[in-house]
Amino acid sequence: MKKYYFLLTIIFCTNIFSYSLLYIGEVESRQWNDSWDRFYDYPLTVYAGGNPDGSERTVLIKIKNSFGDDYYKYFRSQKCNERQIKKKQCYENGYTINYEYDNLYYILNKSIEWSRIAKENNVEKVSKNIQYEGKNIRSPFGGGNARFFAQGDYQSDLILPAYFPLIDAEDRYYDLDAQENFLKHLSKVRETIDRSLEENKKSDDLFN
């Protein structure tokens, strides 16, 4: 019931959409609290949907805030025109490339690779920015660079800062299980959007 309530809330609060976004799943993220000297859990939730007229597809990532409003990140792709196709600005499915979304995929894959290496080799300690072709990659959620941290065989985290207007940037930590879960949810985006298109079209047809 809670999942459907979230869906209705998203539609109401973001009336820029004329279509619904369907729930895919949650990912556990952690935030370090210096005062209490411990991590606290704040879920990240993934949604996806598409306009029934085929003009746009959207992935929404909602990050729970420790104080104030939650963070919403929209990854949108529009249907390509002939000019964009000729300039190779489109995915194979005919929608515009969203580079931030592609970066998120790259970040997750690279951090999963490093997390496995760190655990298998019992790395004493490593902290580094995630880069592509020698350049740091910014977190798609704002607030700074995507980073990786590992220590011994008990911690290997992807760190993705998120920018919350009332409290500025906060580091969110994703362990290996969370990284793999995140990637698994993103792998379901296309099928979820296809299901969303069918459901939204049925809703539109009811009121023709």
pLDDT digits (tens, 9 = 90+) for 135-156: 999 999 998 999 999 998 889 9
Count of CB atoms within 10 A of residue 28's CB? Answer: 15
**If you average pLDDT over residues 105-130, what whole number do you get?**
96
Which pLDDT score is estimated for 143?
87
Question: What is the distance between the alpha carbons of residues 50 and 194, in angstroms, rounded to a whole number?
Answer: 8
- 20 vs 202, higher pLDDT: 20
